[in-house]
Chain A
Amino acid sequence: MTRLKLYTAIYVVLFVSATVQVLVEQAGIAYETALAVILALSFVKAVIVAGYYQHLRWEPRSLTYLMGIGLLAVLALTVAATYSITP
C-alpha cells in the first residue's frame, strides 16, 4: 500500500509542476531565465517518471546507463549541429 501512496504523491508533484511551468512563463520574468527554469522542470519530471513509474531506481544501473547513452547521443547531435550554424 505504501508504494501506492508514493505513486500518488508523485502524480500530484507532476501535476503541479506542469502547472508551474505555465505560470513561470506568465510571471513576466526574463525569457532566458524562464526557458532555463521550464526546461529544468521538464528534466526533473522526466527523471521522476523514469525513476519511479518506470522504476529505474530499483533496476540494475545498466538500464539507466543505457538510457543515458541514448540521451547523450542526441544531445551531441543537437548541440553540435546547432553550434555548426554560421551566424
Chain B
Amino acid sequence: MTDDPTDGPTAPTDDGAASSGETDHDAERARADGGALEVADGHAQDEHAMPPTSSLKRWFVTTNHKDVGLLYIATSLSFLMLGGVLALLMRAQLWVPRAPGTGPLSAMAYNQAVSVHGLVMVFWFLSPFAFGFANYVVPLQMGAKDLAFPRLNALSYWLYLSSGVLLFVSFFQGGTFAGGWTMYAPLNLPAFTPSVGGSAAVLALMLFVASVTVSSVNFLTTMHRMRAEGLTLRRLPLFSWTILLTVWMMLFAFAALLAALLLLSADRLLGTTYFAVNGANGALLWTHLFWFFGHPEVYIVFFPALGVMAEVFQTFTGRRIVGRKWFIAAMVLVALQSFIVWMHHMFLTSINLEIKTLFMATTIGISLPFDLMVFSLIYTMVKGKIRFKTPFLFSFGGLLLFILGGITGVFLGAVVLDYEFRGTYWVVAHFHYVMVGGVTALIGGLYYWYPKMVGRMYDEFLGKVHFALYFVGFNLLYFPMFVAWETPRRVFDYDPGMTAWHQMATVGAVVLGASFLVMIYNLVTSAYRGEVADEDPWNYVTTAEWAVSSPPPLENFPGLPSYARGTLEFLGGSSSALKTVDDDAPAAADRGTGAATDGGAPATLDGSEALAASAHTAEEVQAGEDHHASHASVWPFLVGVGALLLLLGLSGFTNATWSEGAMGTAHQASTGVGAVVTFGALVGMAREQFVGPSGPYGESWPFEKVSNMKTGMWIFLVSDVVLFGAFIGAYVFLRFSSGWIAWEPIPDNVVPGLINTYLLLTSSFTVILALEAAERESRGGVVASLVATVVLGLGFLGNKAIEWEHLFTDKGIWIDSGIRESTFFVTTGLHAAHVVVGLLITLYLILRAWNGAYLDDAAPVEHFGLYWHFVDIVWLFLFPLFYIL
C-alpha cells in the first residue's frame, strides 16, 4: 500500500468554496470513494481484480452496481417467500373463526406471524426489490459507470442482508416481536413484549434503517452529480425520476424512523421511560414519530412501481407518456405533500379535532396529483398501440389495483368514516390493494428487465399464465376483505357469518402463492434455455439501458455517453450507437414511427461530429477510458458480519441487564466480537485503496461546484439534522404534555454545561485551524490542531462523566427515574456518542497527518470538519434546552 500521494495522476479532489469553486473534470475524475481520497489509482488494480460471475467469491466482494442489483433482487425474493409463508399460516388460521389456542397457530404465534409478515413485506421485500432494479438500471439510464460510492453501495446490501438474517433469527430467541408492524407503544416495551427476539426485531429494523440511509446518500449523490452530459433532470427517464424522489423521501423519513427506533431501543435495552404506560403521552409520541415516517414510506414503496408502470406503458404502447412534464410535477408535489398527511393514521388517538380536520384536508389534497398521474397513464394507453406482453399485463394490472386501493383510501381519509373503518379489514384490504398493487407493477418490471439482466428471454406463455393466476388469486384474496370489512384487524376470531368470505380469501392466497412457482420455474429455466436476447428485445424503447448489450459490460458503455445533441451517443468508444432520449423534445414524441430517432437504429453520424457537439474534450474522453476503477472489496461484507454479531449480542440486553446464564455470556461475547469486527472492517475500508468510477460526466445540477464526497457529507448531515430534530421534537412534545414550566432542568448546576459549551466551541476552532494548516501545508500545524481537538473532546466527555456521576450518586437519579431524566440522558447521550465517533475519526486523521497526508489535499480534513461543526451546532441547542430553560 502506498501512502505517497505524489505518484497519483490527479489533482486535489476538493473544488469547493475554500478553493475558489471551479468545476474541473480532471480534478474529479479519479476520486476514490470512502476514506481513501488521497490515494492514487494504478496500483490498486491487482488487489481488486474482479472474479468472474461463476465464482462464488465474486458475490462477496463485488461493488458493481449491476451485481449488487442482482443480489438485492434475489435476496428480496427470498424475503417474499418468508413473508408469504407467514401469510399462508395466517390464512390457515383464519379459515374459520377460532378461539385462542385452537387452529394451527397459538395466539402468540399468530401475533408474531402478523407482525413479522408486515415488517418483512414492507421493509425487507418491497423496497429492496425495487432497489434491485434501481441499482441495476439507474446508473445505466443516467449514463454513469457506477454509483458514486460503489463500496458504500455494497455496504448497503450487506447491512440489509444482515438485518434480515437478524430478523429471521429473532424467531428463535424466545419468539420474535409480536406487537404489530407499527410497533405501537406501550405494547412495544419489554413489559408487554418481553422476549429477546422482540428486541432483536427492533434492532434488525434499526440496522435496516442504517442500510437505507447509506443507500440514500449514495443514490442522491450519484443521481445529482453523475449524469451524462445533456441528461438534465428534465430529460431524466421516468423510472430514474421515481427513484430520485424515492431516495429523497427515504432520506428524511427514515431518519425520523431511526429516531423512533433509537428511543425504543433505549427504552427496551437501557430502561428509559419514553413510551412507558404511566409516562407523559409516550404512546402518542410513538404514533407521531412512526407515522411521520410511515406515510412517506407508503409512497417510498409505491413510487418505484409507478416508475415501472411509466416505462412499461411507454414501451408497450409505443408512445411517450402523455403530459410527461405534468406527470413529473405531480410526483414532486406528492413527494412533498407526503410529509404533511401523517396524522390521518391517528384519527382515533387523542389528538384534537382541529388538527384532525387539517390533516383530513391535506389528505384530500394529496389524492389530487395522484389522479393526474393515473389519467396520464390511462390516456397513454388510449393513444398508443398496445402490445400485450407480460410486463405490460402486470403493469396494467397494477394500475387497476392501485386505483381501487386509492379510492378506498379516500374513505379512510375522512375523519368520520375512519372512526368506523379503523382497526377493521377495510384498512387491511385498502393497503394491500395499494401496496401489493405496487408489487404487481414491480413484477412487471422483473419481466421487463429480465432479458437485460440475464441475456435471455423468459417464456412469454408462462409469463401470461403467471399473470392470470396472480390476478385472479390477488382479487380472490383481497376483495372479500372489503366485503367482510367488519372483521377486526389482527384478530383471528370473527363473526361466523363472514366465514365464506374468509375461506374465499384463503383459497385466493393459495392461488396467489402458487402463481409465484410458475414465475420462478419460468425465470430459472429461461436463464438456461431462453432465446438469446439482443440489446433491445422490445423494439421500441426510450432509455439508455437498451442501448448496450444484454447483460451490459462491467463498465456499462462502449465510450463516454453524451446527450449533447439530444440523443445518446458514445464518445470515443470503439462502437457508437444512436439511441433516443426520454425527453421533452418533439422528436421524441413519435419515435415509434421509425423516424430518425427510432430506438435501435444504428449509428449514423460519425464520432467526431458527436465529439464536436460535446463539451467534453478528446483528452477527457481518453482519460475516462484509461481510468481504471476498482470493482471489488471485501470490507463491506465484513462490516455486515460485524454489525450482525453486534446487534445479535445487544438483543440480549434488557432493562440494563444481560440475560441469565450461558445465553447471557454468549450475548456478551457476540457483542464484543461484533464491535471489534465492525470497527476493524471500517478501518480496513478506510485504509483500502479503492478507485471509484470516473466522473462526473457532465450534468451535476444543483451541486456542480461541490465534490462527490462533500455532497455526500452534506446529504448525510441533513439526515442527522432530522434525527436530532426528532429527538429534540420528542423532548418538546413530552415537556409540553407534562407542563412546560413545571419541568426543571435535570442538572442542578449550569456550570458543567457551560464549560462543555466552551470546550466544544474551542474544538470547533481547532478543527478550523487544522484545515488552515493543511492548506498552508504545515504538517506540524495539522497534527497539533487535531491533537488539540482530541484533548478538548476528551475534556468534554470527561466533564460529562463527572457530571453524570454526580447526578447518579449524589442526587440518586437514574435514566429511568422519570421522563425528564430519560430525555436528558438519552438526548445528550446521543450527542456524546456523536462526539465519540468524531474523536475516533480524529485519531485516524492524526495518524494519517503524521505521515504527511492532507498537505496537498485538505478535503478529508474539511469533510470531517463539517461533521464536527454540526455536532457543535447541536450542542448549541441542547445546552440551553437541557441546562438553562
The chain A residues found within 8 Å of chain B, CB to CB, are: 3-4, 7-8, 11, 14-15, 18-19, 21-22, 25, 31, 34-35, 38-39, 41-42, 45-46, 49-50, 53-55, 57-60, 62-63, 66-67, 69-71, 73-78, 80-87
Which of B726, B741, B754, B869 is within 8 Å of A49, CB to CB? B869
Q: Verify A85–B884 contact, CB threshold 8 A.
A: no
* Known contacts A14-B761, A55-B17, then 11 further A-B pairs from the complex at CB < 8 Å, ordered by chain A residue: A8-B765, A15-B758, A22-B884, A25-B885, A31-B741, A62-B703, A66-B718, A78-B732, A80-B343, A84-B346, A85-B737
Q: Verify B721–A55 contact, CB threshold 8 A.
A: no
Q: Verify A71–B721 contact, CB threshold 8 A.
A: yes
Q: Verify A45–B765 contact, CB threshold 8 A.
A: no
Chain A residues in 8 Å Cβ range of B343:
80, 84
Q: For the complex, what is the distance from the CA of A37 to the CA of B294, rounded to whole Å? A: 35
Closest partner residue, chain A, to B741 (CB atom) = A31
Minimum CB–CB distance from B151 to chain A (whole Å) comes to 24
Which of B346, B722, B761, B767 is within 8 Å of A15, CB to CB? B761
Minimum CB–CB distance from A48 to chain B (whole Å) comes to 10
Closest partner residue, chain B, to A3 (CB atom) = B772
Q: Verify A60–B718 contact, CB threshold 8 A.
A: no
Q: Does B750 contact A (CB under 8 A)?
A: yes
Q: Verify B702–A84 contact, CB threshold 8 A.
A: no
Given contacts A19-B754, A53-B764, A69-B718, A83 and B355 within 8 Å (CB-CB): yes
Q: Does B809 contact A (CB under 8 A)?
A: no
Q: For the complex, what is the distance from the CA of A81 to the CA of B729, rounded to whole Å? A: 8
Q: For the complex, what is the distance from the CA of A8 to the CA of B702, rounded to whole Å? A: 32
Q: Verify B880–A39 contact, CB threshold 8 A.
A: yes
Given contacts A53-B869, A70-B725, A59 and B885 within 8 Å (CB-CB): no
Minimum CB–CB distance from A69 to chain B (whole Å) comes to 7
Q: For the complex, what is the distance from the CA of A57 to the CA of B18, rounded to whole Å? A: 11
Question: What are 21 inter-chain pairs, A to B, with CB distance below 8 A?
Answer: A7-B769, A8-B765, A15-B758, A18-B757, A18-B758, A18-B879, A21-B884, A34-B885, A42-B879, A53-B767, A54-B865, A59-B17, A63-B706, A67-B717, A71-B725, A73-B725, A80-B340, A82-B733, A83-B355, A85-B736, A86-B350
Chain B residues in 8 Å Cβ range of A41:
880
Q: For the complex, what is the distance from the CA of A52 to the CA of B585, rounded to whole Å? A: 43
Chain B residues in 8 Å Cβ range of A4:
769, 772
Chain B residues in 8 Å Cβ range of A35:
885
Chain A residues in 8 Å Cβ range of B281:
85
Q: For the complex, what is the distance from the CA of A4 to the CA of B726, rounded to whole Å? A: 35
Q: For the complex, what is the distance from the CA of A67 to the CA of B67, rounded to whole Å? A: 33
- Can you list, as one digit per residue, whether each of B762-780 has a CB less than 8 Å from chain A (1) or not (0)? 1011011100100000000
Q: For the complex, what is the distance from the CA of A77 to the CA of B736, rounded to whole Å? A: 14
Q: Verify B870–A18 contact, CB threshold 8 A.
A: no
Given contacts A4-B772, A73-B252, A21 and B880 within 8 Å (CB-CB): yes
Q: Does B714 contact A (CB under 8 A)?
A: yes
Chain B residues in 8 Å Cβ range of A81:
285, 288, 292, 729, 733
Given contacts A38-B880, A53-B865, A59 and B288 within 8 Å (CB-CB): no
The chain B residues found within 8 Å of chain A, CB to CB, are: 16-18, 21, 252, 256, 281, 284-285, 288-289, 292, 339-340, 343, 346, 350-352, 355, 702-706, 714-715, 717-719, 721-722, 725-726, 728-729, 732-733, 736-737, 741, 750, 754, 757-758, 761-762, 764-765, 767-769, 772, 865-866, 869-870, 872-873, 876-877, 879-880, 884-885
Q: For the complex, what is the distance from the CA of A87 to the CA of B739, rounded to whole Å? A: 10
Minimum CB–CB distance from A50 to chain B (whole Å) comes to 7
Q: For the complex, what is the distance from the CA of A50 to the CA of B772, rounded to whole Å? A: 17
Chain B residues in 8 Å Cβ range of A54:
865-866, 869-870
Q: For the complex, what is the distance from the CA of A76 to the CA of B337, rounded to whole Å? A: 12
Chain A residues in 8 Å Cβ range of B722:
70, 73-74
Give the top 4 A-B pairs by smallest Cβ distance, nearest first.
A74-B725, A58-B17, A78-B729, A62-B702
Q: Verify B765–A84 contact, CB threshold 8 A.
A: no
Q: For the complex, what is the distance from the CA of A48 to the CA of B18, rounded to whole Å? A: 17
Q: For the complex, what is the distance from the CA of A82 to the CA of B721, rounded to whole Å? A: 19
Chain B residues in 8 Å Cβ range of A62:
702-703, 706
Which of B252, B703, B717, B876 is within 8 Å of A46, CB to CB? B876
Minimum CB–CB distance from A24 to chain B (whole Å) comes to 8
Closest partner residue, chain A, to B714 (CB atom) = A63
Q: Verify B288–A77 contact, CB threshold 8 A.
A: yes
Chain A residues in 8 Å Cβ range of B703:
60, 62-63
Q: For the complex, what is the distance from the CA of A71 to the CA of B750, rounded to whole Å? A: 27
Chain A residues in 8 Å Cβ range of B352:
84-87
Chain A residues in 8 Å Cβ range of B733:
78, 81-82, 85
Minimum CB–CB distance from A16 to chain B (whole Å) comes to 10
Q: For the complex, what is the distance from the CA of A8 to the CA of B719, rounded to whole Å? A: 30
Given contacts A45-B876, A54-B869, A58-B17, A76 and B732 within 8 Å (CB-CB): no
Chain A residues in 8 Å Cβ range of B715:
66
Closest partner residue, chain A, to B725 (CB atom) = A74
Q: For the complex, what is the distance from the CA of A50 to the CA of B17, rounded to whole Å? A: 13
Closest partner residue, chain A, to B729 (CB atom) = A78
Chain A residues in 8 Å Cβ range of B292:
77, 81
Q: For the complex, what is the distance from the CA of A43 to the CA of B309, rounded to whole Å? A: 45
Q: Verify B765–A42 contact, CB threshold 8 A.
A: no
Minimum CB–CB distance from A72 to chain B (whole Å) comes to 9
Q: Verify A49–B355 contact, CB threshold 8 A.
A: no
Q: Verify A80–B757 contact, CB threshold 8 A.
A: no
Q: For the complex, what is the distance from the CA of A13 to the CA of B743, rounded to whole Å? A: 30
Q: Verify A59–B706 contact, CB threshold 8 A.
A: yes
Q: For the complex, what is the distance from the CA of A58 to the CA of B877, rounded to whole Å? A: 24
Q: For the complex, what is the distance from the CA of A25 to the CA of B292, rounded to whole Å? A: 34
Chain A residues in 8 Å Cβ range of B340:
76, 80
Q: For the complex, what is the distance from the CA of A10 to the CA of B729, rounded to whole Å? A: 29
Closest partner residue, chain A, to B256 (CB atom) = A77
Q: For the complex, what is the distance from the CA of A85 to the CA of B287, rounded to whole Å? A: 12
Given contacts A25-B884, A53-B768, A67 and B754 within 8 Å (CB-CB): no
Q: Verify B16–A59 contact, CB threshold 8 A.
A: yes
Q: Verify B339–A76 contact, CB threshold 8 A.
A: yes
Q: Verify B718–A67 contact, CB threshold 8 A.
A: yes
Q: For the complex, what is the distance from the CA of A45 to the CA of B17, rounded to whole Å? A: 21
Q: Verify A73–B339 contact, CB threshold 8 A.
A: yes
Q: For the complex, what is the distance from the CA of A16 to the CA of B483, rounded to whole Å? A: 68
Minimum CB–CB distance from A4 to chain B (whole Å) comes to 6
Chain B residues in 8 Å Cβ range of A67:
714, 717-718, 721
Q: Verify B761–A11 contact, CB threshold 8 A.
A: yes
Minimum CB–CB distance from B231 to chain A (whole Å) comes to 18
Chain B residues in 8 Å Cβ range of A53:
764, 767-768, 865, 869, 872
Q: Verify A84–B351 contact, CB threshold 8 A.
A: yes
Chain A residues in 8 Å Cβ range of B21:
58, 60
Q: Verify A42–B880 contact, CB threshold 8 A.
A: yes
Q: Verify A80–B355 contact, CB threshold 8 A.
A: yes
Q: Which of the listed residues A57, A63, A71, A85 has the most CB atoms from chain B within 10 Å of its own CB? A: A63
Q: For the complex, what is the distance from the CA of A11 to the CA of B764, rounded to whole Å? A: 9
Minimum CB–CB distance from B132 to chain A (whole Å) comes to 28
Q: Verify B351–A38 contact, CB threshold 8 A.
A: no
Minimum CB–CB distance from B249 to chain A (whole Å) comes to 11
Q: Verify B873–A50 contact, CB threshold 8 A.
A: yes
Minimum CB–CB distance from A39 to chain B (whole Å) comes to 7
Q: Verify B355–A7 contact, CB threshold 8 A.
A: no
Q: Which of the listed residues A21, A57, A76 has the most CB atoms from chain B within 10 Å of its own CB? A: A21
